[in-house]
Amino acid sequence: MTRLAARVRRVALVAVPLGFFGLFFAYPVGSILARGLAPGGHVDLGPVGRVLTDASLRGIAWFTVWQAALSTLLTVLIALPGAYVVSRFRFPGRGLVRAAIVIPFVLPTVVVGSAFLALGFRPSLGAIVVAHVFFNYAVVVRIVGGFWSHLDPQQDDAARVLGASRLRAFRTVVLPALRPALLGAAAIVFLFTFTSFGVILILGGPTRSTLETEIYRQTAELLNLRTAAALSVVQVTAVAAVLVVVGRAEGRHRVALRLRSARDTARRARTGLERLFVGTNLVVMAALLGAPLVVLLARSFATTGGPGFGFYDALGHLHANSVLFVPPVDAIRNSLVFAGEATVIAVGIGGLAAVAVARGRRGRFLDGALALPLGVSAVTVGFGFLIALDKAPLDLRTSSLLIPIAQGTVAVPFVVRTIVPVLRSIDPRLREAAMTLGASPARVWREVDGPIVARAGLVAAGFAFAISLGEFGATVFLARPNTQTLPVVIFRLLGQPGELNFGAAMAASTILMALTGAAVLLIDRVRVARVF
Amino acid sequence: MKRLAVLAVTLTMLAAAATPARAASAPPVTIRLVTHDSFAVSKSVLAAFTRQTGIKVEVLASGDAGAALNQVILTKNSPIGDAFYGLDNTFLSRALGAGIFQPYQSTQLASVPATYQLDAQHRVTPIDHGDVCINYDKTWFSSHQVPVPTSLDDLTKPAYKGHLVVENPATSSPGLAFVMATIARYGERGWRAYWAKLRANGVQVVDGWDQAYNGSFTAGGGNGDIPLVVSYASSPPAAVVNANPQPAQSPIGTMLSSCFRQIEFVGVLKTTTHVAAARKLVDFMLSQRFQADMPLQMYVFPVRDGTPLPAVFTKFAQTTSNPLSIPAAQIGHNRDRWINEWTATVLR
């Protein structure tokens, strides 16, 4: 009986996330690709061949890959020291810094693009890369830092005592332990920059296109589904290849570690060098992440008659008599409710998947599959929904239920990638010891894995919540007049002329920033039972 | 939990909708109007329609005009709505070619000039028009003592080097309209040479209207540095309405010789089960009440004769009775090629 129950549990661990993935991703995307590549019922891969032989399309594909690789490399290099600082050192305002770095992640690209232009950036490759680092800094800090804060500092201390240099101790002890988290984070950053849309359009200028912008153009503007499908096949193949490589690399480096409570691993900077290191990183964060945010903040108060709350006021009454108007309070509530639901979906699906990934061999496939949506064009998924989920009871096309589902889908890979490294590194001897002492499997889970996973789950939840708050690509297609979120309101305001509209958009962006910071701060504050 | 309940209710309603209605009295009908993101109407106006007819209207704003249309085309066998509004003359032939509309000749069309009625079969009904024009920042030109350009030719002169920002026609509807303006003005033979000259004169290209107007234009919201922008004839009144305090004069002017006319249409979708209700909505959109509401909601002009314009429009909007234009069929036949040629000329 218990064995049957265990088997049911094992199957459910894989089946639930896989079913979700199949229904809300694979099926719609498959449908739209089929419409493009097999319009008459028989498959014609000719367009795919054309993409690969057409010089300009090949150029687009190549540019997509290398700008993403460059952006990912720089993001990791710049954010890794930052992850170390916020996870290992105690300093005044640490909680605030940890919450604040997530803010860039939720801001609509149109808004950030305008802030970068105001800072003097002109459309160029450099502007694209800097903006990508700005957006994705938090990905590395949250995922890697979240794991780092549980690593036992005594291990590298021991290496230092044994005569290893600081660098050598990092390379031989810390880096191998961090590797799964680092690879997981880098993979997500790569997918994000690979499918980056607004940044490329605004900061790349009209001469630079990527697979993502080209798929959008071919699908939404030209309705050329054949070329769009061919480009999507190239995109999906590239993304899948990257995920397989990363998955292999992660699998090879499984190290059981002694994990500690985050509270035991952080300490004050002791030496001058350490203080300099912490200080430098905080300055980098302030300049890189802070400057564009300050531009938006300043603009939201810069009314014609001098600094004031005029734009915030305008947010409440501008267009108040229009059917598409939502009072700011309602937009905030919509944002919070959808983000809350999306977080529940993401943590539920992602949590189950994480356990399956950490335990089973088939897990690696699941891990890669769930990350795939990050690497596939939003317009492909969106248009896929339209043609695939069109029959009752699955006709969710005009239901507001799709909003948290879409947002949750985007957040699932973060949840998986935050929890899996932690789960994998729990020393199996701990479990075995508990079993030997007579604990049931459920009890082992509750007492050994549970508390650590709960902490990682909270980190993941905070991030999932932030992602959902800022999600725009899917939400703008799905939102109805009464279900508009803050990013949708910002987008609509920016679509209309006049300084009040622009100022009100800046005010709404500032509210979104504050809301994100507060939400992440709050979630980070939730304490789980102390581990060990 | 609540959402699950909502789902359950939705499913029940869907099931109910699938079974033929047995009740004798007509239940209140809800129809869905698929449209673009720029759609707006006063709450009171739409409420009046519901009061008069018992028909509720759900608005589905689904991306820009092109994306919204393509969604309707893709879903024509299992439609997401009953009527589609926001189709313009640059997309008209694609929509008609896809066969998504059913004919309906509203009696209200008697009050609409024939120049707006582009489909003889009345599969689509004109609702409004807007002119895409070059706008200029009055303050910039007077303080820099540069004369305001008056013709498209002027824009290629050294005095305006680097002073014009346009939208990419591949991604922006005003951007496309302005390319059409140059094709209408210089013809198939000359328009690419004109753009080559604009390019040599430092024309800036951005992705969309928002980046051009709010980001690059000196009189937009975001302190840009370019005093000429492709926008609309309604931007000058909009700049007055959406400012606090409202200026006595609009800070923005319109270069009338650059204007290209966009006409927007509504159509009843072929597959709707609410034909009568959708037709009533078309009638209502042509009524004086809806037509008079549009200028301040969507910054477009009514097509119905004798519709009073708001004071800010009569005071600050300059329009031309003779805009540049190209027949819709010709646009439909050539638009993709024109966009590709424009890209090759200006961006490559």
Write out pLDDT tens, residues B242-282: 888 889 999 999 999 999 999 999 999 999 999 999 999 99
Question: Does residue A318 form part of some domain?
Answer: yes
Flag if B241 and A399 touch (Cβ within 8 Å). no
Cα end-to-end distance, chain A, whole Å: 33
Question: Does residue A530 form part of some domain?
Answer: no
Chain mean position to CA A424: 21
Residues in chain B with CB shorter than 8 Å from the CB of A201 are 171, 207-208
What is the ipTM score, two decimals? 0.82
Question: Does residue A337 form part of some domain?
Answer: yes
Query: Using CA atoms in the order B130, B133, B138, B139, what is the torsion angle rounded to 10 degrees?
Result: 100
* A509 contacts chain B (CB < 8 A): no
Rounded to whole angstroms, the maximal C-alpha distance in chain A is 75
Q: In chain B, whose CA is at the least distance from the CA of A201?
A: B207
Distance from CA of A192 to the nearest CA of B (A): 20
- Host H or E run for residue B61: strand B55-61
* A172 contacts chain B (CB < 8 A): no
Distance from CA of A341 to the nearest CA of B (A): 9
Question: Does residue A434 form part of some domain?
Answer: yes
The minimal CB distance from B78 to the residues A305, A390, A503 is found for: A390
Q: What gap in Å lies between CA A294 and CA A283, rounded to an integer?
A: 14
A407: domain range? 2-299+306-525
Residue B336 is encoded by which pair of tokens?
A: 């993709």
Flag if B14 and A491 touch (Cβ within 8 Å). no
Strands B252-269 and B83-88: antiparallel
Q: In chain A, whose CA is at the least distance from the CA of B4?
A: A401
Check if the beta carbon of residue A265 is closer than 8 Å to that of residue A149. Answer: yes
Q: What gap in Å lies between CA A350 and CA A357, rounded to an integer?
A: 10
φ/ψ (deg, to 5) at B23: -65, 145
> Please, what is the Cα angle at A398 between B174 and A25, to 5 degrees?
90
Model-level pTM? Answer: 0.86
Question: Does residue A263 form part of some domain?
Answer: yes
Q: In chain A, whose CA is at the least distance from the CA of B252?
A: A498
- Those residues whose C-beta lies under 8 Å from the C-beta of residue A332, and which sit 6 or more positions away, are A486, A511, A515
* A55 contacts chain B (CB < 8 A): no
DSSP SS3 for A392: coil
Residues in chain B with CB shorter than 8 Å from the CB of A215 are none
* A273 contacts chain B (CB < 8 A): no
Place of tokens 């002890």: A173
Flag if A220 and B67 touch (Cβ within 8 Å). yes
Burial class (CB in 10 A: 0-12, 13-18, 19+), A251: middle
Question: Does residue A531 form part of some domain?
Answer: no
Place of tokens 């979630």: A523
Flag if A393 and B42 touch (Cβ within 8 Å). no
Distance from CA of B130 to the nearest CA of A (A): 14
Residues in chain A with CB shorter than 8 Å from the CB of B62 are 477
Flag if A207 and B347 touch (Cβ within 8 Å). yes
Check if the beta carbon of residue A474 is closer than 8 Å to that of residue A491. Answer: no
> Please, what is the Cα angle at A382 between A377 and A387, to 5 degrees?
125
Which CATH number goes with the domain that contains A415?
1.10.3720.10
Per-residue pLDDT of chain A (532 residues; tens, 9 = 90+): 467 877 887 788 888 999 999 999 999 999 999 988 888 778 888 888 888 888 888 889 999 999 999 999 999 999 999 999 998 899 998 888 988 898 998 888 878 888 898 888 888 999 999 999 999 999 999 889 888 888 888 777 787 788 888 788 888 888 888 888 899 899 989 999 999 888 998 898 888 889 998 898 888 878 888 989 999 999 999 999 988 888 788 766 666 676 777 777 788 888 888 899 999 999 999 999 999 999 999 999 998 888 999 999 998 888 888 888 888 899 999 999 999 999 999 999 998 898 888 877 666 778 888 888 888 888 888 888 888 888 777 777 777 888 899 889 888 988 888 888 788 877 778 788 888 888 888 888 787 777 777 888 888 888 889 888 888 877 877 777 788 899 989 888 888 888 888 899 999 999 999 998 888 888 877 755 444 3
The minimal CB distance from A323 to the residues B40, B214, B347 is found for: B40
Question: Does residue A350 form part of some domain?
Answer: yes
Scored b (16 or more CB within 10 A) or e, A478-515 reads bbbbebbbbbbbbbbbbbbbbbbbbbbbbbbbbbbbeb
Residues in chain B with CB shorter than 8 Å from the CB of A113 are 211, 215
**Between chain A and chain B, how many beta carbons pairs sit less than 8 Å apart?**
163
Question: How many independent structural domains does chain A possess?
Answer: 1
**pLDDT value at position A530?**
42
Structural domains of chain B in order of their starting residue, each with its CATH number: 24-129+263-313 (3.40.190.10), 131-262+318-346 (3.40.190.10)
